[in-house]
Structure 1
Amino acid sequence: MRILHTSDWHLGRSFHRVGMLEHQATYVDHLLDVVASERVDLVVVAGDIYDRALPHVDAVRLADETLARLAASRARVVITSGNHDSAQRLGFGSRLIDAAGIHLRTDASSVGTPIVVDDEHGPVAVHGIPYLDPQALHEPWGLAARTHEAALAEAMRRVRADLAARPTRSVVLAHAFVAGGLPSDSERDISVGGVSVVTSALFDDISYTALGHLHGRATLGETLRYSGSPLAYSFSEAGHTKGGWLVDLGRDGVTGTTFIEAPVPRRLSVLTGDLEALLTDPRLASAEVHWVQATLTDEVRPDRPMERLRARFPHALVLSFAPAGTPAPSVVAAPRGRSDHQISLDFVEELRGSPASDDESALLLRACDACADDPDVDMLVTAANGSG
């Protein structure tokens, strides 16, 4: 049996306010091409189909088209819900959709009941474990603790109870933070009481475990892997290679794995340096077509930095400042008797390293007046302090 393991599509997500739906549609085309060209028998999607519990209509449309195309393909499909999905919305109509070879497993009550897929060596029990909220399951499942470890341990107890009754090869889908994986900035925190990690030992003796939730691919064991997200959703993923795992399951277990890279619509570049260097360094030519996150190290904050940066890097999205050799600003209580205007001028000088210009000072004064209950009070205090 040939399995394609993917997860964390996050349909409808944006990248720093740039819509990603077109790029996600390109990934779906790639997915269907791989199913056909690699003769995939089973596609497993380990959670986070959508980016939000109430997805935008365009994201729902893309998901609908994707499921219809997969149903018409040669592969059976098992999909679980992730922590970003609404289990009820994603799982709507699942019993009807089962007949099309698309199996949505979003309800915790289904844990322990597999989808059985046959190949030339016999049956394979595919257990889809949706994202499990330990708070919600604490009483229904009689958990010893309100932790992800307790919830997933009970889920795997149910899976093993089923496998004990049918000695066969097994595939498990789980959406969780398993020890050994590395998080990025784009995952939503799922910790309960500060704890989110579960041990990889929970999946011992499973023929193959397809993990979702973390957005970077990872091999935690020959039979325990994260596929990662098919697209980068934060600049912390600039070094990631995106795609999915092609897994060959033989008579006695996994016989081979290959990582199939997904298309990259636009690469990411993280740049650091003073503005003039970033604008003139020929080694940065490739970044001109990338999405860019830039950190400027100029001692004095440049004028119109994003506008100037985008003259060379039109896809610059994030700009921050870390002046070279400048200690982190300390938090100091404002002295009594100073006007709002003077405090704002001090803030500008502290942040930028140089005082505000006369025009900037006048603009700040108008802003302070606009926010004051009695603008004349601030004007009088400012005049008394000798500034204006």
Structure 2
Amino acid sequence: MKFIHLSDLHIGKRVNEISMIEDQAYILTQIIRIIDGERPDAVVIAGDVYDKSIPPAEAVTLFDDFLCRLAKRSLPVLIISGNHDSPERLAFGGRLMAGSGIHLAPVYDGIVEPVTLSDSHGDVRFWLLPFIKPVHVKHCFPDAGIESCTDALRTAVEHMGVDFTGRNVLVTHQFVTGAATCESEEISVGGSDNVDISVFDGFDYVALGHLHGPQNVGSSRVRYCGTPLKYSFSEAGHYKSVTVVELGEKNDLRLRTVPLTPRHDLREITGTFAELTDKAFYSTAGTEDYLHIILTDEEDVAEAVGRLRVIYPNLMKLSYDNTRTRTDQVVGSAENVKSKSPLELFEELYALQNNQPMSGEQRAFTQELIESIQEGNV
């Protein structure tokens, strides 16, 4: 059984206020070409199809076109919703589309039915488990004693009734403890989103979405395929690819990647203004790429952005690295900010402003508001 593992398309995303829709159309066409060359038995998309829960019309049109191109190839496509998607909107028409081989995970209600595909070794069951939070699972199983994301995922998996003597693939969208993150992802840094890898014991392959860097977690059996495009400058060093998964008999797993080449790369370049505007440099520097330019001049350069965009039209971000900025970073640093969740940071601000801690009711309301903002519902 050969299948293509994709995730985190984030169709409709804007990076530094620049629309990526043309770049996404370009890379999806490239993925179609890879699929035609690989001739897989299925395509898996592990969540975050869209960048917003209410995606713009052009994003919906692009994904519709992608699905139609896949359906014309009589290729089963298995899709779950991620934390950026609206599960209700993404699942719309799912029962109708299943007849065309497009399998959309329904809104989680405690019941997960597998999509079964077969090859010369027998059946492979694909379990489509969309992005879920403890509250979703508690609603379905109120007596399960769920306190964490690990508890929630373990409960959801236990109630799926998986026969682990056969071959099983789990498609899900979560943050597995120990995986490497980058700044373009919405992660609760305090650790409340973490799922322990032991939840996935028994599965022959776990096709993960959520994290943007391609990586195995613990073993090749549990993998993030990563985004098809770079969506932040923290990803500038990533090599984007398509993951090709091949399942033989039970316990026979092989993985490989096929590289993706973007329409415009996303890179960082560093130097003085004089160096970066020297024709000898920029004539070979890839001036059409999406760029974060870091100037090392000790004094700010007047109208630097406008002058640099004459040479680098896709300049996204300009910053300085000099004595002043390095001093500012030391003076203004908050050592513990990155180790705290948004709720913890808000609690500190509230206490500072009001000289008293938040009440339990205020904490619950604030957490609900934070989650709604993160999911694009506000």
- Shorter-normalised TM range: 0.7 to 0.9
Letter of the aligned partner of 2:302 in structure 1? D
Amino-acid identity (%):
33
1:250 aligns with 2:251: no
Q: Aligned partners of 1:141 and 1:282: how far apart in 2? A: 65
Match of 2:345 in 1: none
Match of 2:17 in 1: 17
Q: Aligned partners of 1:45 and 1:269: how far apart in 2? A: 26
Q: What does residue range 43-62 of structure 1 map to in structure 2 within 5 Å?
A: 43-62=43-62
Match of 2:107 in 1: 107
Letter of the aligned partner of 1:60 in structure 2? V
Letter of the aligned partner of 1:94 in structure 2? G
Match of 1:300 in 2: 299
Match of 1:212 in 2: 209
Letter of the aligned partner of 2:318 in structure 1? L
Q: What does residue range 114-125 of structure 1 map to in structure 2 within 5 Å?
A: 114-125=114-125
Q: Aligned partners of 2:170 and 2:159: how far apart in 1? A: 12
Contact persistence 2:204–2:253 (CA under 8 A): no
Task: State the 1:314 CA deviation.
Answer: 2.2
Match of 1:386 in 2: none
Q: Aligned partners of 1:101 and 1:198: how far apart in 2? A: 31
- What are the Cα deviations for residues 308-338 of structure 1, in whole angstroms up to 9, with x where unaligned? 222332221101233326621858xxxxxxx
Aligned length: 327
Match of 1:150 in 2: 151
Match of 2:263 in 1: 265
Letter of the aligned partner of 2:216 in structure 1? T
Task: State the 1:190 CA deviation.
Answer: 4.8
Task: State the 1:259 CA deviation.
Answer: 0.3
Q: What does residue range 364-383 of structure 1 map to in structure 2 within 5 Å?
A: none
Task: State the 1:251 CA deviation.
Answer: 1.6
Letter of the aligned partner of 1:22 in structure 2? E
Task: State the 1:178 CA deviation.
Answer: 1.0
1:93 aligns with 2:90: no
User: Aligned with 1:216: secondary structure?
Assistant: coil
Contact persistence 2:110–2:156 (CA under 8 A): no
Task: State the 1:162 CA deviation.
Answer: 2.8
Letter of the aligned partner of 2:323 in structure 1? A
Q: Aligned partners of 1:93 and 1:2: how far apart in 2? A: 27
Match of 1:290 in 2: 289
Contact persistence 2:246–2:254 (CA under 8 A): yes
Moved more, 216-225 or 142-151: 142-151
User: Aligned with 1:162: secondary structure?
Assistant: coil
Letter of the aligned partner of 1:272 in structure 2? T
- What are the Cα deviations for residues 359-387 of structure 1, in whole angstroms up to 9, with x where unaligned? xxxxxxxxxxxxxxxxxxxxxxxxxxxxx
Contact persistence 2:48–2:85 (CA under 8 A): yes
Contact persistence 2:27–2:263 (CA under 8 A): no
Task: State the 1:211 CA deviation.
Answer: 0.6
Q: Aligned partners of 2:32 and 2:287: how far apart in 1? A: 31
- What are the Cα deviations for residues 122-178 of structure 1, in whole angstroms up to 9, with x where unaligned? 11110011000223333432353442212111122123x2325xx310111110111
> Which runs of 5 or more structure 2 residues have no equivalent in the other structure?
333-378
Q: Aligned partners of 2:252 and 2:45: how far apart in 1? A: 18
User: Aligned with 2:27: secondary structure?
Assistant: helix
Contact persistence 1:298–1:324 (CA under 8 A): no
Match of 2:70 in 1: 70
Task: State the 1:180 CA deviation.
Answer: 3.0
Alpha carbon RMSD of aligned pairs, Å?
2.1
1:162 aligns with 2:162: yes
Contact persistence 2:207–2:224 (CA under 8 A): yes
Task: State the 1:116 CA deviation.
Answer: 0.7
Match of 2:321 in 1: 322
1:126 aligns with 2:123: no
Moved more, 48-57 or 108-117: 108-117
Letter of the aligned partner of 1:34 in structure 2? I
Radius of gyration: which is bigger?
1
Letter of the aligned partner of 1:85 in structure 2? D
**TM-score, scaled relative to structure 1:** 0.79
Q: Aligned partners of 1:91 and 1:57: how far apart in 2? A: 17
Match of 1:197 in 2: 194
> CA 1:66–1:260 in structure 2 vs 1: closer, same or farther (change >3 Å)?
same
Letter of the aligned partner of 1:202 in structure 2? V
Moved more, 88-97 or 145-154: 145-154
- What are the Cα deviations for residues 222-276 of structure 1, in whole angstroms up to 9, with x where unaligned? 2111100101111111111112211111122444211011231111221233322
> Which runs of 5 or more structure 1 residues have no equivalent in the other structure?
332-388
Q: Aligned partners of 2:305 and 2:198: how far apart in 1? A: 48
Match of 1:183 in 2: 181
Match of 2:171 in 1: 173
- What are the Cα deviations for residues 270-312 of structure 1, in whole angstroms up to 9, with x where unaligned? 1233322332384553242321102223222111111222233
> CA 1:171–1:246 in structure 2 vs 1: closer, same or farther (change >3 Å)?
same
Letter of the aligned partner of 1:72 in structure 2? K
Letter of the aligned partner of 2:82 in structure 1? G
Contact persistence 2:292–2:317 (CA under 8 A): yes
User: Aligned with 1:302: secondary structure?
Assistant: coil
Letter of the aligned partner of 2:17 in structure 1? R
Greater relative contact order (CA < 8 Å, ≥ 6 in sequence): 2
Match of 1:313 in 2: 312
User: Aligned with 1:292: secondary structure?
Assistant: strand
User: Aligned with 2:45: secondary structure?
Assistant: strand
Moved more, 26-35 or 281-290: 281-290
Match of 1:235 in 2: 233
Letter of the aligned partner of 1:137 in structure 2? V
User: Aligned with 1:126: secondary structure?
Assistant: strand
